[in-house]
Amino acid sequence: MLRKLLFNTQVVLKQQPKLHHIRHLATPKILQLEQIHIDEAIKIEPTLSIYSPEIWRRAHETFQNHGLETGNFLRIVTGNPAILKRTPDKIISSLEIWRACQFGENLLHLLLTKYPELLDVSDHHQLLSHIGFLKSRVSTSKNVWKCLMNSPDLIAQSEECVEEKLNFIIDVMRIEVPELAKSAALTLSFEELRCRHEFLVRLGLFRPRPPKADPNEPTTNPKLYQITDTSEKSFATKICHVTLPEYEAFKDLYAKELEQKSRRKEQDELSDEDD
């Protein structure tokens, strides 16, 4: 189920300013769901207009009984309208699946309010297994939560894919977990992550720390979020101080270089077998 979950991080992030518009109508102090709140939500997400006031009331009461205020409820259903189709029992089941991750109620509410699509996860055992794997790599539940807040599509990535990127960030780039957790680095593909890192290294703008160096010692390297949480254009012009066409040319050349290395390795392995 996790792998099948359709989760486009960029689309979700683009929705955040839109969802901000309902905050003036739905602050945490408002306890009751009023028609004005529903009308405002429908303006933002017209597909919500098909649901009756009774369905709205029932869903709102379910979320409220589980600690989510009116403002959170409105942002959740605006971001994931299909939630209103669910019975109270199914909504509760979706919340309980995530409660088992043990982020704590406040952090969990922040996560689900920011990314309502996460409530579409239905495989309890697979989610807990994935969260357990992430915790084994980033040490704490709080760090897992931070990673998901920045890279919610981690839920839909295979362990092998995440492992490859984590190994590269920690072992090659020599980035510590606290800095990793503050970035969206794990949203990038491994190929893009490696390419950006290599470009900086060849420009002399990034030098990985020595293995025994003090991680708290200041460095002139760009922060990980500056490397990964940017468009290609911003990465090229603001971080690398080159033009976008120059970075694009490097990407093409680097891909060919890696392909040639892979081909040579295969040839060497075949030669060894012949010997």
Residue 80 in contact with residue 44, Cβ under 8 Å?
no
- The helix or strand, by DSSP H or E, that contains position 199, with its residue range, turns out to be helix 190-203
Residue 45 in contact with residue 74, Cβ under 8 Å?
no
Instruction: Quote the crossing angle between the two packed helices 70-79 and 53-65, to the nearest 10°.
Output: 120
Tell me, yes or no, whether 27 lies in a domain: no
pLDDT of residue 22: 53
Tell me, yes or no, whether 269 lies in a domain: no
Query: Cα angle vertex 100, ends 95, 102, to 5°?
Result: 110
- Count up the domains in the chain and report the number: 1
List the chain pLDDT tens, one digit each, 275 residues. Answer: 555 554 444 444 445 555 555 554 445 556 689 999 999 999 999 999 999 999 999 999 999 999 999 999 999 999 999 999 999 999 999 999 999 999 999 999 999 999 999 999 999 999 999 999 999 999 999 999 999 999 999 999 999 999 999 999 999 999 999 999 999 999 999 999 999 999 999 999 999 988 888 888 889 999 999 999 999 999 999 999 999 999 999 999 999 999 999 888 887 777 766 55
Tell me, yes or no, whether 79 lies in a domain: yes
Length of the chain: 275
Q: From CA 69, how far away is CA 22, in angstroms rounded?
A: 13
Tell me, yes or no, whether 89 lies in a domain: yes
pLDDT of residue 203: 97
Residue 197 in contact with residue 208, Cβ under 8 Å?
no
Domain residue limits at 102: 32-121
Tell me, yes or no, whether 161 lies in a domain: no
Tell me, yes or no, whether 229 lies in a domain: no
Tell me, yes or no, whether 150 lies in a domain: no
Tell me, yes or no, whether 54 lies in a domain: yes
